[in-house]
């Protein structure tokens, strides 16, 4: 794994512990209500202490979360990191003057150590006498010893680390608005790679210190904001205009520049994306819509994002969030803010600028944003994920290609054996907003907020040895449900179940591995038997059995073994279009009783040999022959 892939994995692990912060924000907001005046002071006290408790133990959350993430969700790694934090707390508490306290940086370090030790020693074998301490138990043993040494070492270097962080704070303060401008641009650039969590951990959880009236020491822009530090919130305020207004403005521009025939679906998809961004601050689905097709517009977006940070700094605006800069956090944490009302007019101006600028650019430079080309829309995943998961796994190169599969809020994070096996076009048709290959087999695929559900379904497939058969597209054209074929026999599934295609080219290729079972005398239809026992019928056009004049020419014969994508029949497309009842070409399984479940790709344009447009799981495990 190269360095960028390692940072990708660490970035996801660092993000995981921050998921507890929304609970802290809600509790602190509840605690800020006038419970004394309402005669219920205990409710306010309990809520406040509960919210502060999350921030107090935040380093422990980071230790466990980072270890858990780096060790592929292994519980012993998280337990080892937690034991290290307890040891560190006890050693520094008794051998320092109180200036050394657990911080999120220390938590991340312990998490990295525990995760690395687990990955290295989880299968270690010791002599039989002490084998009880082998395997994952060895990680707990060695972590305890290393934590004691590390804690003693930190007693000596902690003052220097703190001095470095103080100097970083002073440098940022010295740069003023320009420093915030640089931070805003870097944040937006790293978002594309999924590495912004590493940057944010420094500024949100390390830079700046504050001591509460109760004597509690807090560090970082985000904890200081929720602890009541009036100077905190500078590194978060400038994100609100971008998330709540600017990016939704891009979504509206994409909708209004979509083709009329695709506009209804694009409107549904991107209005949802705009609402998600406005409410929660999750922005990747919109950003990836233009990141790859118009990188120069992403550069403009980066610069404008930096300017938003500079503007909010210049206007002395302080606001913060527990999760992201959406309207929920804007309202929830408004009582701690300063001049936050200005974010609304700034945001409205940003939204208008983004809308006009991006709509002009899309129209002027003919940017192929979703809705301007067939097959570019994001699908509605609700209820379809279990059925699309087999096709997603195939587009990722298959079960054998996936080494590691994780997810964060909006994207799948993978390590694969060969990233060239990933079919980015198929992933786009299956709902991906974009994908990024980071080298070393590390890949990110953006699916929006459904990414975690997709990961769960794909992992289920990888953990089971399903008797599955995958079908490629037998021709170039448009795929449609079998029920839409203008022929009662096929539409009623009397011949079999499957899908159909409207051809755009004059070639029919094999969708599966198999043996040619039968070729009809007129060569308008062909039957294939797969190694799994499925019988597949491909029928070119409707009412074509009576066409004559050499309009069909088979290039294989009965008994031939074929592979996906191999040419089977050439035909006269223009003649069939003129004389046949329809060009619809069914691909059906004539013994569907063998099939337990069906999965279909989105019914839209496909390319000849494209994998995979249909997937079936069989009732039995009598599978053999080629792996597909």
337-346, long-range: CB < 8 A, 24+ apart: 337/233, 337/237, 338/230, 338/233, 339/315, 340/237, 342/312, 342/315, 342/317, 343/237, 343/240, 343/241, 343/244, 343/312, 343/317, 343/319, 346/241, 346/308, 346/311, 346/312, 346/315
What does pLDDT average to in each consecutive run of 10 residues of the chain (628 residues)? Answer: 61 76 83 84 87 86 88 85 92 76 82 89 77 79 90 83 74 84 90 75 82 81 90 93 95 90 82 88 80 83 95 95 88 92 97 96 86 51 66 85 79 85 82 77 80 83 77 93 92 93 94 93 92 93 76 90 93 88 94 88 84 81 42
Instruction: Answer yes or no: do 283 and 306 share one domain.
Output: yes
Range of the domain at 343: 234-365
Instruction: Answer yes or no: do 277 and 296 share one domain.
Output: yes
Q: How far apart are CA 69 and CA 415, in angstroms?
A: 14
- DSSP state string for 529-585: E-TTS-EEEEE-SBS-TT--SS-EEESS-TT-EE-TT-EEEEE-HHHHHHHSSB--E
> Which tokens belong to 28?
């602190």
Instruction: Answer yes or no: do 19 and 159 share one domain.
Output: yes
Q: What is the pLDDT of residue 622?
A: 46
Instruction: Answer yes or no: do 163 and 268 share one domain.
Output: no
Which is the catalytic residue, given 142, 154, 408, 606?
408
Q: What is the pLDDT of residue 358?
A: 94
Instruction: Answer yes or no: do 587 and 509 share one domain.
Output: yes
Taking the alpha carbons of 456, 603, 628, 432 in that order, is the dihedral positive or negative?
Answer: negative
Q: What is the pLDDT of residue 627?
A: 40
Q: Show which of 337, 365, 393 is a domain's final residue.
A: 365
Q: What is the pLDDT of residue 236?
A: 93
Instruction: Answer yes or no: do 79 and 173 share one domain.
Output: yes
Q: What is the pLDDT of residue 548?
A: 64
Angle (nearest 5°) at CA 164 between 161 and 167? 155
Helix (H) or strand (E) holding 356: helix 343-364
Q: What is the pLDDT of residue 258?
A: 87
| 3-state SS class at 259 | coil
Strands 497-503 and 535-539: unpaired
Residues with Cβ within 8 Å of 115's Cβ and at least 6 positions away in sequence, in order, are 13, 66, 67, 68, 69, 70, 71, 77, 81
CB of 277 within 8 A of CB of 326?
yes
Q: Does any domain span residue 572?
A: yes
Instruction: Answer yes or no: do 500 and 456 share one domain.
Output: no
Q: What is the pLDDT of residue 384?
A: 66
Q: How far apart are CA 361 and CA 420, in angstroms?
A: 32
Q: Does any domain span residue 259?
A: yes
Strands 442-446 and 434-439: antiparallel
Q: Show which of 446, 464, 482 is a domain's final residue.
A: 464
Q: Does any domain span residue 625?
A: no
Q: Does any domain span residue 372?
A: no
Instruction: Answer yes or no: do 444 and 492 share one domain.
Output: no
Instruction: Answer yes or no: do 459 and 475 share one domain.
Output: no
When computed from its CA atoms, the radius of gyration of the chain, rounded to whole angstroms, is 29
Q: Which residues pair with 412 in a beta bridge?
A: 407, 445
Q: Does any domain span residue 220?
A: no
Residue 197 has phi, psi (to 5 degrees) of: -65, -30
| 3-state SS class at 182 | helix
Q: Does any domain span residue 190?
A: no
Q: Does any domain span residue 371?
A: no
Q: Does any domain span residue 375?
A: no
> Which tokens belong to 237?
């305020």
Per the annotation, the verdict on 408 as an active-site residue is: yes
Q: What is the pLDDT of residue 567?
A: 94
Q: What is the pLDDT of residue 243?
A: 94
Q: How far apart are CA 267 and CA 117, in angstroms?
A: 49
Instruction: Answer yes or no: do 349 and 415 share one domain.
Output: no
Q: Is residue 141 exposed (0-12), middle (13-18) or buried (19+ Cβ within 10 Å)?
A: middle
Instruction: Answer yes or no: do 85 and 116 share one domain.
Output: yes
CB of 538 within 8 A of CB of 614?
no
Q: How far apart are CA 28 and CA 441, in angstroms?
A: 43
Number of domains in the chain: 4
Taking the alpha carbons of 536, 540, 544, 550 in that order, is the dihedral positive or negative?
Answer: negative
Among 70, 92, 100, CA closest to 148 = 92
Instruction: Answer yes or no: do 457 and 474 share one domain.
Output: no
Q: Show which of 449, 464, 479 is a domain's final residue.
A: 464
Count of alpha carbons within 13 angstroms of residue 242, beta-carbon side: 28
């Amino acid at each position: 794994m190269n360095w960028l892939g390692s940072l990708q994995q660490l970035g996801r692990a660092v993000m995981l512990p921050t998921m507890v912060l929304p609970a802290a924000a809600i509790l602190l907001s509840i605690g800020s209500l006038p419970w004394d005046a309402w005669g219920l002071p205990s409710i306010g006290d309990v809520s406040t202490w509960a919210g502060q408790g999350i921030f107090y133990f935040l380093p422990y959350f980071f230790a466990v979360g980072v270890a858990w993430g780096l060790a592929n969700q292994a519980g012993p790694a998280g337990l080892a990191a937690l034991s290290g934090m307890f040891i560190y707390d006890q050693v520094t508490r008794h051998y320092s003057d109180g200036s050394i306290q657990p911080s999120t940086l220390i938590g991340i370090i312990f998490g990295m150590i525990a995760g690395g030790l687990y990955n290295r020693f989880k299968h270690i074998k010791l002599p039989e006498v002490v084998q009880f301490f082998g395997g994952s138990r060895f990680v707990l043993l060695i972590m305890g010893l290393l934590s004691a040494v590390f804690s003693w070492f930190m007693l000596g270097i902690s003052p220097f680390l703190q001095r470095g962080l103080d100097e970083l704070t002073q440098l940022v303060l010295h740069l003023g608005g320009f420093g915030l401008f640089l931070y805003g641009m870097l944040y937006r650039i790293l978002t594309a790679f999924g590495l912004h969590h590493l940057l944010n951990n420094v500024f949100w959880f390390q830079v700046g210190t504050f001591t509460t009236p109760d004597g509690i020491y807090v560090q970082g822009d985000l904890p200081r904001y929720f602890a009541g530090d009036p100077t905190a919130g500078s590194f978060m305020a400038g994100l609100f205009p971008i998330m709540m207004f600017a990016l939704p403005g891009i979504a509206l521009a994409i909708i209004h520049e979509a083709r009329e025939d695709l506009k209804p679906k694009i409107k549904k998809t991107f209005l949802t994306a705009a609402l998600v961004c406005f409410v929660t601050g999750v922005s990747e689905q919109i950003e990836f819509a233009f990141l790859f097709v118009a990188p120069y517009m992403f550069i403009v977006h980066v610069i404008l994002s930096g300017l938003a940070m500079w503007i909010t700094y210049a206007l002395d605006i302080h606001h913060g969030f527990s999760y992201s800069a959406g309207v929920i956090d804007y309202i929830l944490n408004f009582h701690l803010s300063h001049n936050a009302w200005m974010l609304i007019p700034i945001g409205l101006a940003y939204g208008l600028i983004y809308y006009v600028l991006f709509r002009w650019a899309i129209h002027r430079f003919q940017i192929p944003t979703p809705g301007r080309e067939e097959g570019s829309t994001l699908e509605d995943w609700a209820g379809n994920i279990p059925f699309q998961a087999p096709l997603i796994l195939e587009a990722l190169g298959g079960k054998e290609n996936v080494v590691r599969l994780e997810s964060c809020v909006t994207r799948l994070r993978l390590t694969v054996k060969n990233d060239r096996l990933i079919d980015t076009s198929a992933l786009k048709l299956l709902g991906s907003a974009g994908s990024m290959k980071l080298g070393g087999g590390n890949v990110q695929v953006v699916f929006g907020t459904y990414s975690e559900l997709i990961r769960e379904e794909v992992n289920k497939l990888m953990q089971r040895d399903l008797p599955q058969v995958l079908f490629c597209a037998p021709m170039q054209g448009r795929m449609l449900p079998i029920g839409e074929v203008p022929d009662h026999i096929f539409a009623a599934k009397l011949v079999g179940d499957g899908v159909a295609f409207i051809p755009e080219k004059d070639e029919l290729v094999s969708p599966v591995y198999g043996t040619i079972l039968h070729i009809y005398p007129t060569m308008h239809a062909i039957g294939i038997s797969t190694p799994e026992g499925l019988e597949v019928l491909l029928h070119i056009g409707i009412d074509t059995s009576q066409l004559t004049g050499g309009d069909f020419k088979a290039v294989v014969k009965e008994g031939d073994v074929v592979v996906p994508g191999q040419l089977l029949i050439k035909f006269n497309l223009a003649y069939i279009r003129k004389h046949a009842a329809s060009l619809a070409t069914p691909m059906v399984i004539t013994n569907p009783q063998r099939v337990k479940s069906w999965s279909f790709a989105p019914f839209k344009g496909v390319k000849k040999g494209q994998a995979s447009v249909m997937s079936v799981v069989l009732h039995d495990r009598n599978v053999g022959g080629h792996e597909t």
